[in-house]
Structure 1
Amino acid sequence: MITIREREEQQFLNGLGKRIKLLRVSKEWSQERLGFKSNLDRTYIGGIERGEENPSILNLKKIADALEVPIEKIFTENKE
């Protein structure tokens, strides 16, 4: 049985992955390109985007730096 906390954590990871994917797609980049630019494996990027990985803050910083966005942008929902 999944707990409320586990469900909330999964929702957070899903939302985080969705925002990273939107930022990547807006640059017309593949997962491979983002992986190269952030020095992370393409399959790891895919896992993050699907909410399957729980990335460390340092890996999130690498992704934000590669996307040339402040790290806060991957934590906040785009309201546009």
Structure 2
Amino acid sequence: PDAKNRVVLLDAAEQLLIEDGYAAVTSRRVADRAGLKPQLVQYYFRTMEDLFLAVFHRRAEEGLAVLSTALQSPQPLWALWRFS
């Protein structure tokens, strides 16, 4: 359950960032979107900065994995073009 709650909070924060922008994201709004108690946001992420960094870090890791796979393909340049 712990890992699932963390992922749900990250998903909620990401959705709010996309929809409303950085300034509109609060721990209460993230918790509401996730369907969890506001205290859990602070349990998993000490600060909102930690939450935002976790959101960006997660997507950056996904992008790096795709780039790594593309670079290992027989036609890396073509694969990179498809990625972008």
- Is TM-score (shorter-chain normalized) higher than 0.5? no
* TM-score, scaled relative to structure 2: 0.31
Q: Over alpha carbons, which structure has the higher Rg?
A: 2
Of structures 1 and 2, the one with the larger relative CO (CA 8 A, separation 6+) is: 1
TM-score (norm 1): 0.32
